[in-house]
């Protein structure tokens, strides 16, 4: 009734193969895009952008990336934090000009990159590192692999902590983003306009989502899913596991790297690697895709939104309304997140995305039961 | 005796001791994995939970005191008594058994037959949940833990003076080894021996091995799967308590205690998930390896703190050549 496809005839292959073949879906998608691009930048203020919208957009990118690897290709990774750190530090190095040393002398220094290309470079470099750490996935599977990706997590964090070249020899060991702009609009640094930061992240989020959506419903996505469902059978029907697994690692790490670069440069401005990109970050993104829905792009958004909103909502309810101490609310949050993970895994292993699908199906039939 | 060589041997010995502690945590993983195929990430948090419960009971803390105070505006903190260590340990064991029953009843009973990786993620959720509950129950501040048989007869702290003196006289170099590490090693040996005897010679132990071998076959000869799983989780809880006591006495009871689970993972990968001897040998290799690597290569050339990742890298390299670990069962895949 509310949601229907009756009278929605598709007469060409192009119409049949578009991302949203149902008219209602398509218009809703355009409406969301319209609101996000045209309306929101005019109404947001600093609080909304910094505590809700930016983390949501950035985590959504990371969740899409991890979902490609875990949800579509079935390779569980716990190294997300480390890969985000690669994106952040690469972005920082390219923003400030990469300096190459040889034998104690400065060999040459690249010019400082524009912030846009720095973020892209963050993604590219992370993709390379991801492929490197993805290589063992050809030999080891399941949670052996999950534990192996922890090696990436700990090694990378240690690397960025100890090798001072990565943080340009600063005394504090932190990296902080210098002021950078595109076409005169400031994007990093302390005096950024909220709408500018929002639009910059939004651009990356939409682009990544469109790329991911199209990759996952195309040939590469089908190969990933074949590997996920049964890798030996996939091999027999002609999927090259080497290529499929490594491309999944590459694409996934690319997105995660971009989200790490944005997380550092636009959202936080200054980070300390162990704090910002520790193992808890890996788990947070993993929780997002479990709650949101494994193997669903919409689920990545839903999970990111849920886990960004939850602490804020808990803080408002617990601290502001009830006046509880903040540490109790923080502990309650752990209990609730952990409990939700278990509840979702038991009751709805496909997450919020599946609830959404069921709701759509109900709306399609309403008011009739069948 | 060569100073450098003696020092290396001392690092080696300390590595062995650390390895014993890793093995202690890894043991809990192996127990659960063998019997139910669940890779229990929450093992470290269980150790933290057990240690916090023990301290809380010893000091007569009111459980959930902070939460109660926040909700009802009261001001309760302590019952005002001190419980004897042994009684407290017995009570904590009861708590861990209750926890095992609840985990089995409310979580894993509903997840029977799911893919292993789903079970693994459920245990990550369980880890978060338990950590939150532990903090709410007993407060998250750093606590000192000590177990005393009577006044003045506690777990020994500090280094072993006797050993240092003896080795100094015999070899011209005093070896520096923590008393607590020695106790931990002895306890670990007793624990492992106890577990092996339990598994080999008791009725429940036999049932446990049957379940580990084949769930359906065990069911068909009348072994209660539910009971065995609760039993196994209780055993893992007990091992977690022992590990929690040892680590807690060494460095205090706080959140970082739960991170020892992360240390135990590479041990398991090295030793194989299904083998008790594997957990011990893997623990020793990792303990010795990371201490020696830090001492010989990490600290002089790489800027130190390599202990964080060395174990993982070692396990990763190792797995590429032998995916099932040292003692693991051979992985056979069928379509």
Other CB atoms within a 10 A radius of the CB of residue A261 amount to 33
Residues in chain A: 370
Q: Residue A166: helix, strand or coil by DSSP? A: helix
Rounded CA gap, B263 and B308, in Å? 9
C-alpha–C-alpha distance, residues B119 and B126, integer Å: 10
Distances (CA, A) of B83 to A181, A282, B54, B139, B150: 64, 40, 10, 19, 11
Q: Note the helical H segments in B155-275.
A: 161-171, 179-201, 203-213, 215-220, 225-251, 260-271
Contact present, B44 and B258 (Cβ < 8 Å)? yes
Most confidently modeled range among A50-54, A169-173, A302-306, B6-10: A302-306
Selected residue of A75, A144, A145 to mutate for chain B interface (largest B Cβ count, 10 A): A144
Residue B142 has pLDDT above 90, yes or no: no
Residue A271 — φ and ψ, nearest 5°?
Answer: -135, 155
pLDDT category, B153, cuts 50, 70, 90?
low
Question: Which candidate from A155, A233, A286 shows the least CB-CB separation from B335?
Answer: A233
The Cα–Cα gap between A163 and A170 comes to 11
Decide if A146 and B116 are in contact by the 8 Å CB cutoff.
no
**pLDDT at residue B335, as a whole number:** 62
Tens digits of residue pLDDT in B59-85: 877 787 777 777 777 777 777 777 787
Buried-exposed string B188-219: b where 16+ CB fall within 10 A, e elsewhere? beebbeebeeebeeeeebebbebbbeebeebe
Q: Cβ B302–A140 below 8 Å, yes or no? A: no
pLDDT higher than threshold 70 for residue B150: no
- Distance from the Cα of A282 to chain B's closest Cα (Å) equals 12
User: Which of B239-243, B256-260, B317-321 has the highest mean predicted lDDT (pLDDT)?
Assistant: B239-243
**Which residue from A140, A154, A287 is facing B319, i.e. has the nearest CB?**
A140
Residues of chain B contacting A163 with CB distance shorter than 8 Å: 303
Helix axes A115-134, A241-262, angle to 10 degrees: 140
Q: A150, A77 in Cβ contact below 8 A? A: no
pLDDT at B326 over 80: no
Using CB atoms, pick whichever of A143, A327, A345 lies closest to residue B39: A143
Is pLDDT at B88 greater than 90 in this prediction?
no
Query: Would the CB atoms of B116 and A143 count as touching at under 8 Å?
Result: yes
Q: Quick one: average pLDDT of A352-363? A: 87
**Which pLDDT value is given to residue A128?**
95
Residue B75 is classified by DSSP as -
Query: If residue A327 lies in a helix (H) or strand (E), which one and from where to where?
Result: helix A326-347
- Percent of chain A residues past pLDDT 70, beyond the cut: 99
Q: Which of A283, A338, A346 sits opposite B110 (nearest CB)?
A: A346
Nearest CA in chain A to B122: A342
- Decide if B117 and A334 are in contact by the 8 Å CB cutoff: no
Specify which residues A99 forms β-bridges with: A109
| pLDDT tens digit sequence for A184-241 | 878 887 778 888 889 999 999 999 999 999 999 989 999 999 998 888 899 999 999 8
Output the pLDDT for position A171: 80
* Mean of the per-residue pLDDT values of chain B: 81
Q: What is the pLDDT of residue A220?
A: 92
Q: What are phi and psi for residue B37, nearest 5 degrees?
A: 70, 15
Contact A325 B66 (CB under 8 A): yes
Do A94 and A331 form a contact (C-beta atoms < 8 A)?
Answer: no
Taking contacts as CB-CB distances below 8 angstroms, the residues of chain A near B63 are none
Quote the pLDDT of residue A250: 94
pLDDT band at A14 (very low <50, low <70, confident <90, very high): confident
Distance in Å from the first CA to the final CA of chain A: 12
Bridge partners of residue B78, in order along the sequence: B61
Q: What residues does A106 pair with on adjacent strands?
A: A101
Average pLDDT over residues B183-211: 85
- In A, minimum Cα distance to B71 occurs at A324
CB within 8 A of B66, min separation 6: which ones? A325, A327, A328, B136, B139
Is the CB of B118 inside 8 Å of chain A's CB atoms?
yes
The token duo for B214 is: 């084949």
Q: Do A345 and B125 touch (CB under 8 A)?
A: yes
Can you say whether the dihedral through the CA atoms of B229, B234, B239, B240 is positive or negative? positive
- CA B262 – CA A2 distance, rounded (Å): 50
| Chain B contacts in chain A segment 135-154 (CB below 8 A) | 136, 139-144, 146-148, 150-151, 154
Q: Which of B129, B323, B333 is facing A342, going by the closest CB pair?
A: B129
Among B110, B135, B312, whose Cβ lies nearest the Cβ of A150? B312
Q: What are the sequence ranges of the domains in chain A?
A: 1-43, 45-275
Please identify which residue in the block is written with the tokens 């989780």.
B233
Residues of A in contact with B39 (CB under 8 A): 143
Distances in whole angstroms, Cα of residue B148 to Cα of each of B47, B95, B153, B254: 19, 20, 5, 20
Task: Look at the block and give the residue holding tokens 């500018």.
Answer: A196
Nearest residue of A to residue B267 by CA position?
A: A147
Mean pLDDT (whole number) for B49-56: 89
- Contact with chain A for residue B178, Cβ under 8 A: no
Q: Residue A359: its pLDDT value, please?
A: 87
Contact status of A237 with chain B (Cβ, < 8 Å): no
Residue numbers in A near B65 (CB within 8 A): none
- For residue B237, pLDDT over 80 is answered with yes
**B315 contacts in chain A (CB < 8 Å):** 147-148, 151
Helices (H), A68-141: 80-95, 115-134
Contacts of B87 (CB under 8 A, 6+ apart): none
- State how far residue A151 is from chain B, nearest Cα, in angstroms: 5
CB atoms within 10 A of CB B160: 18
Higher model confidence: residue B254 or residue A221? Answer: A221
Residue B307 predicted with pLDDT over 70: yes
Mean pLDDT along residues A170-179: 82
Would you say residue A1 has pLDDT above 60?
Answer: no
Q: What is the pLDDT of residue A69?
A: 92
Q: For A128-160, what is each residue's pLDDT tens digit?
A: 999 998 888 887 777 778 877 888 888 898 888
Measured between beta carbons, the chain A residues lying within 8 angstroms of B126 are 338, 342
Counted across chains A and B, CB pairs separated by less than 8 A come out at: 140
| pLDDT grade for B152, boundaries at 50, 70 and 90 | low
In 3-state terms, what secondary structure has residue A182? strand
Contact B19, B278 (CB under 8 A): no
Name every chain B residue with its beta carbon within 8 A of the beta carbon of A322.
Answer: 70
Where residue B158 falls among pLDDT bands split at 50, 70, 90?
low
**Residue B308: is its pLDDT beyond 60?**
yes
Range in A250-264, B125-139, B143-157 the model is least confident about: B143-157
Task: Using the predicted structure, report yes or no on whether residue A244 has a pLDDT greater than 70.
Answer: yes
Answer whether A327 touches B (CB < 8 Å). yes
For residue B147, say if its preceding peptide bond is cis, omega within 30 degrees of 0.
no
Q: Are B125 and A340 an interchain contact pair (Cβ–Cβ within 8 Å)?
A: yes
Q: Please determine, for residue B139, whether its predicted confidence score (pLDDT) is greater than 90.
A: no
Q: How confident is the model at residue B1 (pLDDT cuts 50, 70, 90)?
A: low
pLDDT at position B13 is 82
pLDDT of residue B149: 65
- Average pLDDT value for chain A: 87
């Amino acid at each position: 009734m509310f949601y229907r496809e009756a009278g929605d005839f598709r007469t060409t292959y192009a119409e049949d193969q578009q991302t949203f073949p149902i008219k209602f879906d398509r218009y809703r998608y355009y409406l969301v895009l319209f609101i996000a691009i045209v309306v929101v930048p005019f109404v947001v203020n600093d609080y909304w952008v910094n505590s809700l919208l930016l983390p949501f957009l950035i985590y959504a990118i990371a969740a899409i990336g991890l979902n490609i690897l875990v949800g579509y290709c079935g390779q569980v990774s716990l190294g997300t934090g480390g890969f985000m750190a690669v994106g952040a530090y690469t972005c920082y190095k390219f923003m400030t000009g990469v300096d190459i040393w040889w034998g104690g002398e400065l060999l040459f220094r690249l010019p400082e990159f524009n912030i846009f290309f720095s973020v892209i470079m963050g993604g590219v470099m992370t993709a390379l590192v991801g492929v490197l750490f993805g290589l063992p996935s050809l030999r080891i599977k399941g949670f052996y692999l999950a534990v192996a990706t922890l090696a990436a997590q700990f090694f990378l964090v240690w690397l960025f902590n100890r090798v001072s070249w990565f943080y340009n020899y600063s005394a504090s060991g932190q990296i902080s983003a210098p002021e950078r702009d595109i076409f005169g609009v400031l994007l990093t640094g302390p005096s950024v306009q909220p709408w500018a930061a929002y639009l910059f992240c939004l651009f990356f989020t939409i682009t990544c989502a469109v790329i991911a959506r199209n990759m996952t419903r195309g040939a590469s996505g089908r190969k990933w899913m074949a590997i996920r469902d049964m890798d030996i059978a996939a091999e027999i029907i002609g999927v090259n596991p080497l290529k499929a697994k490594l491309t999944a690692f590459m694409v996934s790490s690319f997105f995660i790297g971009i989200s790490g670069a944005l997380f550092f440069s636009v959202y936080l401005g200054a980070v300390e690697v162990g704090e910002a990109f520790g193992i808890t970050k890996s788990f947070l993104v993993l929780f997002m895709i479990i709650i949101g829905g494994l193997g669903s792009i919409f689920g990545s958004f839903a999970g990111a939104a849920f886990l960004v909103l939850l602490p804020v909502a808990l803080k408002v309810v617990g601290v502001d309304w009830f006046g509880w101490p903040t540490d109790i609310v923080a502990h309650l949050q752990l209990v609730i997140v952990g409990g939700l993970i278990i509840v979702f895994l038991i009751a709805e292993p496909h997450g919020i995305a599946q609830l959404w699908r069921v709701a759509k199906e109900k709306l399609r039939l309403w008011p009739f039961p069948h | 005796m060569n100073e450098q060589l003696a020092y290396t041997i001392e690092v080696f010995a300390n590595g062995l001791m650390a390895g014993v502690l890793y093995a202690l945590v890894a043991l809990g993983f192996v127990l659960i994995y063998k019997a139910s195929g669940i890779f229990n990430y929450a093992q470290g948090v269980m150790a933290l939970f057990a240690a916090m419960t023990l301290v809380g009971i010893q000091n007569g803390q009111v459980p959930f005191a902070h939460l109660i105070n926040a909700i009802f505006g009261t001001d309760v903190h302590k019952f005002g008594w001190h419980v004897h260590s042994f009684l407290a340990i017995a009570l904590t064991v009861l708590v861990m058994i209750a926890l095992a029953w609840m985990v089995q009843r409310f979580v894993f009973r509903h997840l029977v037959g799911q893919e292993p990786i789903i079970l693994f993620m459920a245990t990550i959720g369980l880890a978060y949940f338990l950590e939150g509950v532990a903090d709410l129950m007993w407060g998250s501040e750093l606590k000192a833990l000590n177990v005393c048989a009577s006044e003045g007869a506690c777990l020994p702290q500090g280094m072993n003076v006797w050993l240092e003196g003896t080795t100094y006289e015999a070899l011209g170099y005093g070896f520096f080894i923590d008393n607590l590490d020695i106790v931990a090693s002895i306890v670990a040996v007793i624990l492992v021996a106890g577990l092996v005897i339990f598994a080999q010679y008791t009725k429940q132990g036999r049932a446990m091995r049957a379940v580990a071998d084949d769930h359906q076959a065990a069911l068909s000869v009348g072994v209660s799967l539910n009971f065995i799983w609760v039993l196994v989780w209780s055993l893992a809880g007990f091992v977690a308590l022992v590990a929690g006591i040892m680590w807690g006495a060494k460095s205090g009871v706080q959140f970082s205690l739960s991170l020892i689970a992360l240390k135990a993972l590479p041990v398991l990968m090295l030793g194989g998930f299904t083998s008790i001897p594997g957990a011990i040998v893997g623990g020793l290799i990792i303990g010795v390896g990371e201490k020696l690597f830090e001492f010989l290569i990490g600290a002089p050339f790489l800027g130190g703190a390599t202990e964080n990742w060395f174990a993982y890298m070692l396990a990763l390299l190792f797995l590429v050549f032998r995916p099932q670990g040292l003692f693991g069962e051979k992985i056979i895949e069928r379509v």
